Amino acid sequence: MPAVNDTKFQPALFLLTGIPGLEDIHVWISIPFCLMFIISILGNSLILIIIKKDPTLHEPMYIFLSMLATTDLGLSLSTLPTTLGIYWFHSREISHNACFAQLFFIHTFTLIQSSVLLCMAFDRFVAISNPLRYTSILTPSIIAKMGLVSLLKGVTLILPLPILLKQHQYCKESILSQSYCLHQEVMTTACSDIRVNIIYGFFLTVSSRGLDLLLILVSYVMIFKSVLSIASHGNRLKALNTCVSHICVVLLFYTPHIALSVIYRFVKNPSQIFQIVVGNVYMLVPPLMNPIVYSVKIQAIRARIIRVFVK
């Protein structure tokens, strides 16, 4: 008897999803998506160019901001091809290797961004609690090491995800609910045992983003204690005002991430439209809003952006 051909149980492609039921107007829906990508890429690129060209901005806070802008660019460029491919060309198919590569970059940039937000919280703590030693504590070498650790942490912790996914067979209908690939969704389409993926994914969430968020909260408890020790009411408000933009960015990053994690882990049969909306907010809104928030709240950045367009 000839051996059973198992290739029929191994679909060659995953199918990505736009907005179900609105396929006929996907071209029109692509307009706001395209605008979001353009504003995100241009906004973050402009911040990087301004910080690089202006020597007065070569300070710890702005260097960390340039790291954040870099991760935002990475996230936007990682999701752009498949998202616009669906809405412009109705191209839903993506090969396994391309999907694994995309989710590697998406999760890596997300994890690096979480670490950078933690670095920025530490930056604000040092600036408020010990302003006289601010530049001597956060020296260029220390900042470079913090950035390198964030990069290595992201790559090292995320690298096992595509390796684990490649070990599985995908015999179910491999339709993904988003216009891009995420580990927590791709693994559910496998027909083999995914307990290792589930355990490692939970460990990853707790030990990276969960720990980062906890340390950010601890940093702000210490910041508020330092602010309360300032005698002048005006100086207290001034110190807190320097943290507003970072707090907004943290909320923009963690709120949709926590919501999406809850949907995938705890909600049974969630609304597909709601899941798609949360997923798009999680992936598209932070890279779009981060440069806007910092441009509005930081006078030095705002003044230089105005100078660019006024010339």
- pLDDT bin (cut points 50, 70, 90) of residue 2 is very low
Lowest mean pLDDT among 35-44, 83-92, 109-118, 297-306: 297-306
pLDDT digits (tens, 9 = 90+) for 169-226: 887 668 888 899 999 889 988 888 899 999 999 899 888 889 999 999 999 999 999 9
Across the strands, what pairs with 13?
Answer: 95
Residue 10 pLDDT class (50, 70, 90 cuts): low
Q: Which residue has the tokens 């693994």?
A: 187
Q: Has residue 6 got a pLDDT over 50?
A: no
Of the CA atoms within 13 Å of residue 27, those in its CB half-sphere come to 2
| pLDDT at site 265 | 72
* Residue, of 86 and 267, whose pLDDT is higher: 86
Question: What is the signed CA dihedral for 69, 84, 109, 267, rounded to 10 degrees?
Answer: 120
* pLDDT score of 5: 45
What distance in Å separates the CA atoms of residue 94 and residue 78, rounded to the nearest whole number? Answer: 14
**189: CB partners within 8 A, 6+ apart:** 14, 170, 172, 173, 174, 175, 176
Mean pLDDT of 109-127: 95
pLDDT > 60? residue 164: yes
Q: Does the pLDDT at position 62 exceed 50?
A: yes
Contact 181, 100 (CB under 8 A): yes
Q: Are 236 and 227 in contact (CB under 8 A)?
A: yes
- pLDDT at position 259: 83
**Per-residue model confidence (pLDDT) at position 172:** 64
Amino acid at 76: S
Distance of CA 294 to the CA centre of its chain: 16
Pick the CATH number of 22-310 from 1.20.1070.10, 3.60.15.10, 1.10.760.10, 1.10.10.10: 1.20.1070.10
Reported for 35-42, long-range contacts at CB under 8 A and 24+ positions apart, including other chains, are 36/284, 36/288, 37/76, 37/80, 37/83, 37/84, 37/284, 39/288, 40/72, 40/73, 40/76, 40/284, 40/287, 40/288, 40/291, 41/73, 41/76, 41/77
DSSP 210: I
Q: Report phi then psi at 99, rounded to 5.
A: -65, -45
Q: Which residue has the higher pLDDT, 1 or 271?
A: 271
Whether 183 contacts 168, CB under 8 Å:
no
d(CA 178, CA 183): 12
β-strand partners of 177:
none
Tell me how far apart the alpha carbons of residues 225 and 214 are, in angstroms, rounded to a whole number: 17
SS3 of residue 95 by DSSP: strand
Judge whether residue 4 has pLDDT over 50: no
As a whole number, mean pLDDT of residues 293-302 equals 84
Residue 280, pLDDT score: 86
Task: Reply yes or no on whether the pLDDT at 9 is more than 60.
Answer: no
pLDDT score for 158: 96
For the segment 56-79, the average pLDDT, to the nearest whole number, is 94
264, pLDDT greater than 80: no
User: What is the C-alpha separation between 4 and 296, in angstroms, rounded?
Assistant: 63
Nearest to 122 by CA among 144, 109, 137: 137
Asked whether residue 232 carries a pLDDT value surpassing 90, the answer given is no
Residue 8 has pLDDT above 60, yes or no: no
Q: What is the pTM of this model?
A: 0.91
Tell me what pLDDT residue 177 has.
86
Q: How buried is 248 (Cβ within 10 angstroms: 0-12 exposed, 13-18 middle, 19+ buried)?
A: middle
